[in-house]
Chains A and B, each alone.
Chain A
């Protein structure tokens, strides 16, 4: 399981070592960009336009623009020191009933899995949250951002969902319908329609049509022509992450390990 973050989740005096992993995987068909000359795969790299060279991750620093070509540089350590406790610990400060949460607050889901030594305390948290039908509310820092999160129990595991802050939710008063006629008859008719169309929630019923059409196209093309082959690359050159995000995460991980 691909780990995104590693740390501790705590509530009162109980601390549980955990790893944060993906809960969702985009179904979109992913393509690779290739060099038309010889079909070598292309990689995204950071490039210094002045020196016209590629710049490896350890020579990159983040800067905040305060004026034209004027930047304040922030190192990884400085960034982490902004909220040091929260970048390592998801501290549950209170519990809530998830029925009280307007679903508009939900942002992105993840799963938490126990690391070595935390299996029992993890199981306890899963079980007591299930029994009491409550979720834990916490704040934690991942990368450059601080998230408000809800941690809840589902099928014997802990799920974590980041929440939007109140100020990020746009008001809807300006598009609300103005008070008009009461539409009771219309409402009854609609309810009748709804009753005839009731079912249980089952997303498995619906497949991604676009994905199927692209896969059909690819199958057709595979039959018409043999796939092209990229040139053999020696071990070293073939390695390396395909995109910058993975590279930066890797260098941040190394910085943390060297402490």
Chain B
């Protein structure tokens, strides 16, 4: 990634340098300005080096280790392992957990945004929901798992009360909280606030004039929503949906703290591969799983950025 910049850097000097600071730097390639150019590029070095060592190298290592055996020989064995029934099933359940929580999160989050329309932008209600959403969207991992064990675990007040008052045992078919079904409930908790944060700006971008124009032309509230608001909001809504999907798909900590048995989703499968070194009797399987995840993430985030570009047309 950093290597690819090189041609850009060169052309950049050629065009951007003359006349940049006419007073302090006289025109013409004097020795001083050459040194200045060099110094400026040196200024980029620390960040470039840092990103190279701690982002580019680990990413490349994570993706390519799957192609090598423990002795360093090339192999496609791990890649083939991605298509074994067990791993495919893991990807499928990761997909469904992410897709279902993304859809629920997007719909509920959009409803909350809709409810906030017409409230004062800087008002107490709006800013409280803004702040609470940004906290809860970050509230993943161990603490979230604890919260749900306290809230709907088998010994929680709610569970005991439902059992004693209504005779309803939510865990009659086994304690699903610690299984993928539990992840659906728990992930939704950080998906909805994330939707509120990402979708609210788009909804705020709806202009009152559009509604007025619609009313002037004899439109109803229904035509306003179907003909104007939905088409304008659709790219942003589906973009946010993809972001939510990516968010759930890449989430590890919550599942690690909650799921008690096995590795039903891909991130937990990677943990198993890292910890035990061998999954399915294959070495370096973690690398192949990481590659599989990155492929999914790149596709999803690419879709997100395409939709995001369409969204920003209306937010100017």
A, B co-complexed: no
Residues of A within 8 A of B (CB): none
Residues in chain B within 8 A of chain A (CB atoms): none
